[in-house]
Amino acid sequence: MGSGGRWGVAARTVCEFPGSLGFAESLGSRVGSFRPAMGLELYLDLLSQPCRAIYIFAKKNRIPFEMRTVELLKGQHHSDAFAQVNPLKKVPALKDGDFTLAESVAILLYLCRKYEVPDHWYPQDLQARARVDEYLAWQHTALRNSCTRAMWQKMMFPVFLGEQVPPETLASTLAELERCLQLLEDKFLKDQDFLAGPHISVADLVAITELMHPVSAGCQVFKSRPKLAAWRQRVEAAVGKDLFQEAHAVVMKAKDLPPADSAIKEKLKPLVQVLLQ
């Protein structure tokens, strides 16, 4: 399956083929045959927030890369082939020649440095950079967590997994999301145009892609938050509306996913446990 993306890069799907490297080549070469050294490869599923941040960043900065789609809902991140790229079995992951890298923050910073992107993405200025670092550190256990849970508990559980989440659990999750959104506004954004100051940075990309998760589930994240809504407009404008929409096409259609079959449900069981805690 390949589709020409905006930059003409074919999206190849990582599938599980026993006894092969696990890649379906859309060109004529045999599966399992020797592959010549590749340039930068980004292993992404645009269903995932950190993957979207990296996708937007790479495209916005015209960083040439091969897109390797890893479909989480099909359990493709559990394949042996993908474990060669990321033994942590998670997306996003990067492969640059022999060098592999996990963790979206690490990947974003690697791309910033290697491709010498404009300064505002990760400013040289000591204090401005510290603000970006501060946001990137905070979000792991705060906004990331609550956005993932909100999206899954409100939408993916009923729609995709055919399971209802107890109303108290969902209420508690949405309250936690509210709390994080308040911190995002009060502690990080304040009266600035962007999270780390007057210009867009990787912090804004990471944050906006998080917030689109509950948005895709129908949460009115921006409705009563004019400050955040205005910031969102600025981020979208800075990124480019087309690119922003392209990156979010998958997650915005998640509510129309057909229900998962029992094999997939089984595969996703451990994830389900974690998301309901």
Partner 1 sequence: MGLELYLDLLSQPCRAIYIFAKKNRIPFEMRTVELLKGSRGSKDTVGTWGVRRRQDPGQHLSDAFAQVNPLKKVPALKDGDFTLAESVAILLYLTRKYKVADHWYPQDLQACARVDEYLAWQHTTLRRSCLRALWHKVMFPVFLGEPVSPEMLATTLAELDVTLQLLEDKFLQNKAFLIGPHVSLADLVAITELMHPVGAGCQVFEGRPKLAAWCRRVKAAVGEDLFREAHEVILKAKDSPPADPTIKQKLMPAVLAMIQ
Please report whether residue 80 would count as binding partner 1 according to CB under 8 A: no
Single out the residue of 1, 41, 56 nearest to residue 210, CA to CA. Answer: 56
By DSSP bridging, strand 99-102 and strand 93-96 are antiparallel
Residue of the chain from 1, 38, 130, 257 that contacts partner 1 (CB under 8 A): 130
174 touches partner 1 (CB under 8 A): no
First and final C-alpha spacing in the chain:
36
Instruction: Work out how close the CB of 276 gets to partner 1 at its nearest, in angstroms, rounded to a whole number.
Output: 13
135: how many CB neighbours lie within 10 A of its CB? 23
Tell whether residue 134 is a contact of partner 1 (CB under 8 A): yes
Residues in region 94-123 near partner 1 by CB under 8 A: 99, 101-106, 109-110, 113-114
Contact indicator for 59, 7 with CB cutoff of 8 Å: yes
φ, ψ of residue 212 in degrees (nearest 5): -70, -15
Q: Which two tokens stand for residue 226?
A: 């004019």
CB of 191 to partner 1, least distance (A): 14
Closer of 46 and 132 to partner 1 (Cβ)? 132
The least CB distance from residue 146 to partner 1, in Å, is: 11
Q: How many residues bind partner 1 (CB under 8 A)?
A: 29
> Given the complex with partner 1, which of 129 and 255 has the nearer CB atom?
129
- Nearest CB to partner 1, comparing residues 187 and 253: 187
49 contacts partner 1 (rule: CB under 8 A): no
137 binds partner 1 (CB under 8 A): yes
Q: For residues 42 and 119, what is the distance between their CA atoms, to the nearest angstrom?
A: 23
Q: With b meaning 16 or more CB within 10 Å and e meaning fewer, what string describes 62-93?
A: ebebebbbbebbbbbbebebbeebbeeebbbb
Strands (E), the chain: 12-13, 40-44, 66-69, 93-96, 99-102
Tell me whether residue 22 or residue 50 sits nearer to partner 1 (CB atom).
50
Residues near partner 1 (CB under 8 A) are: 87-88, 99, 101-106, 109-110, 113-114, 126-127, 129-130, 133-134, 136-138, 140-141, 145, 183, 186-187, 277
